[in-house]
């Protein structure tokens, strides 16, 4: 029979775990140092107020320091996409919906429930995706259509005047046009509120990369991000 692999003693696994945690702590310290340098040069956050109770932004805006979000009155963050780290989950409610930025994505199915959730929330709602251009813009357009009783084209002109970078993909625009007769009258079609993902989502390479980008490029909420990182990598 083939030789059996040697059994590693328990203390070897423990030492390996200690080395891993030490490496993660080194990463966290480096993140804090770099972000503190970047934040001194970049004090603006990717957040655009498009209504009395609505903000649109990128993920970099969603991880802005908590005082910034509190000054804006944010009480709910709606994340449209995948692998977003909810760094402020101890203070702000989150609803994470896995939506692709693709023309064939059926965003219209999610809109009624999301709009009900947003309109029932006290305080300001921050809607974000990766760049704040397509998915979050489409949801913001639907909100503006219902809240202001305006057509999709008018809502897009208004939103673009405030946030010129918005570019909802063609599929999202077609779906909004199909819903225009009801949304522009302030009527929401039937639909359940989408289930909100747990804030204890597993750490992935993609989520860590997105968080690092937001912290390094924008200079963001380092301390809560580090706390989340330590929580996500802690032994069960």
CA–CA distance from 111 to each of 16, 58, 202, 212 (Å)? 46, 19, 26, 30
Which of 64, 108, 129, 150 is catalytic? The answer is 129
Answer positive or negative: Cα dihedral of 38, 39, 42, 45: positive
Give the number of C-alpha atoms closer than 13 A to the C-alpha of residue 21, restricted to the C-beta side: 12
For the question of residue 196 being annotated catalytic, the response is: no
What does DSSP say about strands 93-97 and 74-80: parallel, antiparallel, or unpaired? parallel
CB atoms within 10 A of CB 64: 25
Query: If you count DSSP H runs as helices and E runs as strands, how many of each does the chain have, helices first?
Result: 9, 5
Active-site residues, by number, are 129
């Amino acid at each position: 029979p083939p030789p059996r692999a040697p059994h590693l003693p328990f203390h070897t696994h423990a030492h390996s775990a200690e080395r891993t945690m030490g490496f993660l702590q080194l990463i966290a310290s480096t993140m804090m140092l770099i972000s503190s340098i970047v934040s001194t040069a970049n004090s603006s956050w990717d957040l655009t107020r498009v209504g009395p109770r609505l903000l649109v932004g990128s993920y970099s805006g969603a991880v802005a320091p908590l005082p910034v979000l509190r000054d804006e009155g944010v009480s709910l963050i709606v994340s449209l996409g995948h692998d977003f780290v909810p760094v402020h989950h101890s203070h702000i409610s989150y609803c994470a919906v896995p939506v692709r930025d693709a023309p064939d994505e059926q965003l219209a199915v999610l809109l009624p429930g999301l709009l009900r959730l947003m309109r029932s929330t006290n305080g300001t709602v921050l809607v974000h995706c990766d760049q704040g251009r397509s998915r979050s813009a489409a949801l913001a357009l639907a909100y503006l259509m219902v809240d202001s009783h305006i057509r999709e084209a008018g809502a897009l002109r208004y939103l673009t005047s405030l946030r010129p970078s918005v570019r909802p993909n063609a599929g999202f625009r077609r779906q909004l046009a199909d819903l225009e007769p009801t949304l522009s009258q302030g009527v929401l079609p039937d639909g359940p509120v989408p289930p909100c993902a747990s804030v204890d989502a597993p750490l992935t390479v993609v989520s860590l990369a997105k968080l690092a980008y937001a912290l390094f490029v924008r200079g963001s909420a380092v301390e809560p991000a580090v706390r989340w990182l330590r929580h996500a990598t802690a032994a069960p």
